[in-house]
């Protein structure tokens, strides 16, 4: 089994450049379906989730050329299928982002129903209800969702029960060519949604208010392909900022907009972390103990759930106790039991984690519970006593390009390794 091995206690300092945002790149790739022709996406991260989305697009009939690792030329001229099979949706739930653009281009789509995932049930009922209001008819059979538009698509006001990122994006992508005006009320406001709306507007769409709770989409005729640069990854940036805060020596993180991490930086300042902001970079360091601070995750501009795990690692070493409340996903505290193996004192009560700071962590064998939890365990290893071995690292590869290499460049003692795993026998093997 491939693992990441970390020896704690090395100074970690220097500069790191973040890639384009995973959560934006995936939706921009899907959106190219709505504009037949060759769209060029720059600053695309080289991560496994992006590779899966590439497979989804190819399955639909698109051609993809990768130039210099980070530029994708996606030719959607000959897309002639509208089915996304379960094997791909099961690998990555964000594959469901093709629903909106397929409906926009073909008026129909077949997408496998996503199953549960390790951070909760993650339903898509809001996507369905919103699309139904625009005239989409759904039928579910044999595990697939079949969407059709017998009477075309028409604008409507849709109020989301929760500011869901995925539902907002699918509704925007489906409605760009609908008749009339679509209004999404209680829309999600994440920077990745603004990036998507910007690209669609460059393609000829008329989307107003992205980044606010009310998004208005005025239907247009055809969309045309464009060249677009993916917004910097605020979560990758936040992960390295949390690493600087944890290890103490200065780390400068470049390639993103610090305004996209507004609340994280404010909370981190309350935790006793020193922060210097530039226009496209942040430098962090820490020369005093971590101050316990309560955190509540919420949709943007609230504290991002995607920064909850990294912050839990930090708070597990604070001088005192605090509560982390997870309001976005129902099951996103699996990191806690792995951190406990390293000596952390964390108790889970429903959607609250009660964190009592400890004086130090000790290296142990642990498993990545999910993408952000995996990164948070590597971080914990950087300050733990001795060696930490992190398994299930495919989770980390989903969203971080060269995570180990970037930490090595900062001076960390971290490497890939393989370990023997004894398979449990079927039946007795005495």
Q: Indicate which residues carry an active-site annotation.
A: 117
Contact footprint for ligand UD1 (CB under 6 A): 23, 26, 94, 120-127, 162, 164-167, 188, 305-306, 328-329
CA distances (Å), 78 to each of 33, 39, 222, 259, 397, in order?
10, 13, 16, 39, 31
Q: How far is the CB of 247 from ligand UD1 (least distance, A)?
A: 25
Q: How far is the CB of 118 from ligand UD1 (least distance, A)?
A: 12
Q: How far is the CB of 299 from ligand UD1 (least distance, A)?
A: 6
Give the residue among 275, 357, 273, 253 at the shortest CA–CA distance from 312: 357
Closest to ligand UD1 by CB, 72 vs 188, is: 188
Residue sitting closest to ligand UD1 (CB): 166
Q: How far is the CB of 309 from ligand UD1 (least distance, A)?
A: 11
Closest to ligand UD1 by CB, 237 vs 364, is: 237
Closest to ligand UD1 by CB, 115 vs 289, is: 115
d(CA 7, CA 294): 29
Closest to ligand UD1 by CB, 216 vs 306, is: 306
Closest to ligand UD1 by CB, 4 vs 188, is: 188
Provide the residue count of the chain: 430
* Residue 5 token pair: 């091995």
Strands 413-418 and 2-7: antiparallel
Closest to ligand UD1 by CB, 25 vs 383, is: 25
Phi, psi of 252 (to 5 degrees): -105, 125
Answer whether 8's CB lies under 8 Å from 389's CB.
Answer: no
Q: How far is the CB of 351 from ligand UD1 (least distance, A)?
A: 11
In the chain, % helix, strand, coil (3-state, to 5) comes to 35, 25, 40
DSSP-derived secondary structure for 56-125: HHHHHT-EEEEETTTEEEEE-TT----EE-HHHHHH-GGGGGGHHHHHHHHSEEEEEPP--BTTB----H
- Helix 234-247 / helix 371-383 crossing angle, nearest 10 deg: 20
* Residue 422 token pair: 């004894």
Torsion of CA 204, 210, 213, 215, to 10 degrees: -10
């Amino acid at each position: 089994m491939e693992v990441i091995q970390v020896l704690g206690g090395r100074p970690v300092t220097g500069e790191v450049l973040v890639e384009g945002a995973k959560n934006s790149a995936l939706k921009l790739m899907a959106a190219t379906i709505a504009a037949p022709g060759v769209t060029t996406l720059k600053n695309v991260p080289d991560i496994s989730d992006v590779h899966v989305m590439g497979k989804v697009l190819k399955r639909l009939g698109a051609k993809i050329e990768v130039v210099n690792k980070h530029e994708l030329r996606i030719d959607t001229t000959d897309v002639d299928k509208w089915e996304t099979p379960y094997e791909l949706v099961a690998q990555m739930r964000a594959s469901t982002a093709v629903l909106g653009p397929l409906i926009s281009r073909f008026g129909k789509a077949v997408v496998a129903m996503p199953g549960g995932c390790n951070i909760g049930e993650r339903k898509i009922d809001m996507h369905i209800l919103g699309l139904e209001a625009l005239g989409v008819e759904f039928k579910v059979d044999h595990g697939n969702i079949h969407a059709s538009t017998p009477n075309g698509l028409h604008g409507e006001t849709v109020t989301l029960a929760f500011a869901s990122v995925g539902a907002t994006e699918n509704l925007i992508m489906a409605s760009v060519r609908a008749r009339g005006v679509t209004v999404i009320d209680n829309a999600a406001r994440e920077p990745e949604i603004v990036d998507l709306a910007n690209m669609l507007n460059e393609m000829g769409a008329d989307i107003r208010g992205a980044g606010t709770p009310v998004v208005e989409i005025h239907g247009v005729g055809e969309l045309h392909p464009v060249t677009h640069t993916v917004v910097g990854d605020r979560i990758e940036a936040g992960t390295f900022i949390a690493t600087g805060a944890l290890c103490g020596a200065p780390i400068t993180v470049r390639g993103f907009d610090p305004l996209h991490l507004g609340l994280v930086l404010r909370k981190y300042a309350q935790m006793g972390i020193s922060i210097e902001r530039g226009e496209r970079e942040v430098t962090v360091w820490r020369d005093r103990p971590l101050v316990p601070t309560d955190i509540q995750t919420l949709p943007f501009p609230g504290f991002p759930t995607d920064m909850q795990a990294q912050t839990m690692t930090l708070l597990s070493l604070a001088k005192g106790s605090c509560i982390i409340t997870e309001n976005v996903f129902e099951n996103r505290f699996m990191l806690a039991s792995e951190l406990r193996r390293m000596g952390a004192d964390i108790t889970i009560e429903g959607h609250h984690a009660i964190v009592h700071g400890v004086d130090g962590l000790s290296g142990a064998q642990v498993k990545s519970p999910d993408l952000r939890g995996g990164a948070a365990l590597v971080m914990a290893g950087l300050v733990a006593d001795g060696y930490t071995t992190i398994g299930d690292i495919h989770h980390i590869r989903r969203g971080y390009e060269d995570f180990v290499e970037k930490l090595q460049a900062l001076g960390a003692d971290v490497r890939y390794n393989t370990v023997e795993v004894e398979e449990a026998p079927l039946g007795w093997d005495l």
